[in-house]
Amino acid sequence: MYFVVKVTSGQEKIAGSILQNKSSKMSEQIFSILVLSGMKGYVIVEAENEIACTNLIANEHNIKGMLKKALTQEEIDKILEVKTFKQNIEKGDMIEFINGPFKGYKAKVLKIDEQKSDLTVELMDVVVPIPITTKSSSAKIIQKAKKLEE
């Protein structure tokens, strides 16, 4: 069974570590402790039953309690599901970096390496345009290249 444990926001990793250490010394069946980056203020504990989870979180620093209802396997699968999408980036497209050191910068695609998922781009709004090679996953399309009509 999966239980959602309320913890001090920003202290999820510390709370998860505390629970991990305590669980290794307990006789109750604690199967896993999940600290997810998208769930601020919460940690998920997989335990044999509610009593085992309650004993695990009792009297611990940064632990505020437990939600009454356990999560189902379907709810856990939905939380853990990796969402990916394929962009059809082409030469000439305008992109914006969504992460990394150039986050927020706009660039024009000069070349694409499909096998490596790399893009060679030229940053816009810079004094000297310099080609940069980056992963396509760090960019999103903001404007498609205009195609010449024949």
- pLDDT (tens digit, 9 = 90+) per residue, 21-70? 999 888 889 999 999 877 899 999 999 999 999 999 999 888 999 999 99
Domains belonging to the chain, first-starting first, are: 2-80 (3.30.70.940), 94-143 (2.30.30.30)
Q: How far is the C-alpha of 86 from the C-alpha of 109, rounded, in Å?
A: 16
DSSP-based three-state secondary structure for 93? coil
**Cα–Cα distances in Å, from 99 out to 59, 102, 106, 139?**
39, 7, 12, 7
Is 87's pLDDT higher than 80? no
Predicted pLDDT at 78: 85
Is 148's pLDDT higher than 60? no
Q: What is the mean pLDDT of the chain?
A: 87
Per-residue burial over 103-137, b if 16 or more Cβ lie within 10 Å, else e, is eebbbbbeebeeeeeebebebeeeeeeeebebebe
Is 115's pLDDT higher than 90? no
Predicted pLDDT at 50: 92
DSSP label at 98? -
Tokens of 86: 């394929």
Edge-first strand order for the sheet with 42-47 is 30-34, 42-47, 2-7, 63-66
Q: How far is the C-alpha of 58 from the C-alpha of 73, rounded, in Å?
A: 25
